[in-house]
Chains A and B, each alone.
Chain A
Amino acid sequence: MVTVTINGQQYQVPEDVTILEACRMNNIDLPTFCYDDDLKLAGSCRMCVVESPGRPLLIAACVTPVFDGLTIETESPAVIRARKTILELLIARHKMECHVCEKNGDCRLQDYCYRYGVAESRFTDGGMLHFPIEDPNPFIERDYDKCIMCTRCVRACEEITVAQAIGVKDRGHHAQISTAFNGKLEDSPCVFCGQCVMVCPVGALTSKVSAAYHGRPSDVDKRVLTTCSYCGTGCTLELNVKDNKVVGVTSNRDENFSPVNKGALCVKGRFGWDFINSSDRLTTPLIKENGEFRPASWEEALNFAAQGLKKIKEEKGADSIAVFTSARITNEENYLAQKLARAALGTNNVDHCARL
């Protein structure tokens, strides 16, 4: 353990932590854009800078290790001046349309501008920067006029999903997040997992599936933790519920709640949820009679299926039946299905879609 002095108070902290970690352990909040617990450090947004007496430069807390005797101020006038100026620089390139932004109320840029009282930017000589992009994919809305270049999306794509779809092109203030050849996501190795959307601290990357002005993440009534039903992996996701309707899916990155996937999802889990409210959705079993489907109860439907199977077995033998199961159910359910096939139906004709 080493002793550090933060804002005039002494703390004992482990010697192998960064200043940012030392602050967080002691409930001292430092603003960050580029920092992400699960991603490699960038040290580039410079929002977490702190002041150490006697040092002419401010120190980026996220990338600087503590040492014994370290003394820092986290909200000194110089620190506040720096953060305010950086915020002014960022909002000078940020398309301010909070009133229609999906991230309104859940936006780091907005939060920090509020925290430091930055209403507008003085650094608008030269006008807005514009990064036009057309990407007609059905899942991810990319609006780089709102991007603050924290590169969390790039690192999430590289490190969590390893799709390597997006990077940084050009340099200086022309630098922009882009796929190879600045094209569409669908022409890149992107798998539309939306991890980039998950980590984006502002409204540059949002979900097109939720983005129909039906409820942004900040004004949902509740988030219901549930297990994704698309496959047997068992990822945890959060159904965003508003007025008793699912209006979106987000993920929970806390491994206590999301032990399997720590927030990562695939395209189906993150974006394939709007069927829930679809009028085409089947809500009861259907039985076909005279070429027409009619609703039935589960009991009736199961009896109907059992009768059918029994009849086939009696007339054609057990080996005329095969059981084919799906990766959408769990291992345990798959086990039960083969048990049903062998013990009840009496056939070894069992297969599974994941084998194909």
Chain B
Amino acid sequence: MLDYKGIMTDYASRKEGIIEAYHAVQKELNYLPKEAIKAAAEAFKIPEKEAYGVATFYSYFSVQPRGKYIIRICESAPCHIAGADEVVEALEQELGIKMGDTTPDLKFTLEFAQCVGQCQETPVITVNGKPYGGVTKDMVPRILAEYK
């Protein structure tokens, strides 16, 4: 098990560092387990309901387990008109899951994202934060192969 208490203590020197601490946990696990949120509440001296409220407010955080690689597809207007829907279809088909789901081997999770600020080359997807621009459905297998 990840040393949640240790991570939280590292960040708790700055009393507002909970978001960074959550990022640190997610870097390892891709989600925020209950124990991590409890550890955060304790380290940052805030009520658990608040630590949970923060964890559920931001779309980068998840309180449900997710895959090792989180693929986010931007669905904002510039990516939408550039064919994001086709990329979604290709990803769903290639991975055999629907948007919002995780592959049974816990490798990939598909999520919608809002703008990731790479609009010079649309549509954009990110894999664990790494952006890929101008993605077409034909490029999908190649991108996924990098992570398989």
Interface on A for B, CB 8 Å cutoff?
164-171, 178-182, 188-189
Q: Which residue of A lies closest to B55 (CB)?
A: A169
Spot the interface stretch: B45-53, B76-84, B133-141.
B45-53
Tell whether B34 is near chain A: CB-to-CB under 8 Å. yes
Cβ-defined contact, A168 with B53, below 8 A: yes
Cβ-defined contact, A180 with B57, below 8 A: no
Chain A residues with Cβ below 8 Å from B47 are 164, 167, 180, 189
Assess A167 versus B53: contact at CB under 8 Å? Given A180-B47, A189-B47: yes
Chain A residues with Cβ below 8 Å from B34 are 181
Q: Which residue of A lies closest to B48 (CB)?
A: A180
Main secondary structure of the interface of A (DSSP, over half): mixed
Cβ-defined contact, B50 with A164, below 8 A: yes
Counting from the closest, the 9 A-B pairs by CB-CB distance are A164-B47, A180-B48, A167-B49, A180-B52, A167-B53, A180-B49, A169-B56, A170-B56, A171-B57
Q: Nearest Cβ distance between residue A32 and chain B, in whole angstroms?
A: 24
Tell whether B25 is near chain A: CB-to-CB under 8 Å. no
Cβ-defined contact, B49 with A164, below 8 A: yes
A169–B53 alpha-carbon span in the complex (Å):
5
CB<8 Å pairs between A and B, sample of 23: A164-B48, A164-B49, A164-B50, A166-B49, A167-B47, A167-B49, A167-B50, A169-B52, A171-B56, A171-B57, A178-B49, A180-B37, A180-B41, A180-B47, A180-B48, A180-B51, A181-B34, A181-B37, A181-B48, A188-B48, A188-B49, A189-B47, A189-B48
Interface on B for A, CB 8 Å cutoff?
34, 37, 41, 47-53, 56-57, 63
A161–B39 alpha-carbon span in the complex (Å):
24
Chain A residues with Cβ below 8 Å from B57 are 170-171
Main secondary structure of the interface of B (DSSP, over half): helix
Chain A residues with Cβ below 8 Å from B56 are 169-171
Chain B residues with Cβ below 8 Å from A188 are 48-49
Q: Nearest Cβ distance between residue A152 and chain B, in whole angstroms?
A: 16
Chain A residues with Cβ below 8 Å from B53 are 167-169
A169–B50 alpha-carbon span in the complex (Å):
9
Q: Which residue of B lies closest to A188 (CB)?
A: B49
A180–B41 alpha-carbon span in the complex (Å):
10
Q: Which residue of A lies closest to B41 (CB)?
A: A180
Chain A residues with Cβ below 8 Å from B49 are 164-167, 178-180, 188
Chain A residues with Cβ below 8 Å from B51 are 180
Chain B residues with Cβ below 8 Å from A178 are 49, 52
Q: Which residue of A lies closest to B46 (CB)?
A: A164
Q: Nearest Cβ distance between residue B137 and chain A, in whole angstroms?
A: 30
Q: Nearest Cβ distance between residue A147 and chain B, in whole angstroms?
A: 16
Cβ-defined contact, B52 with A181, below 8 A: yes
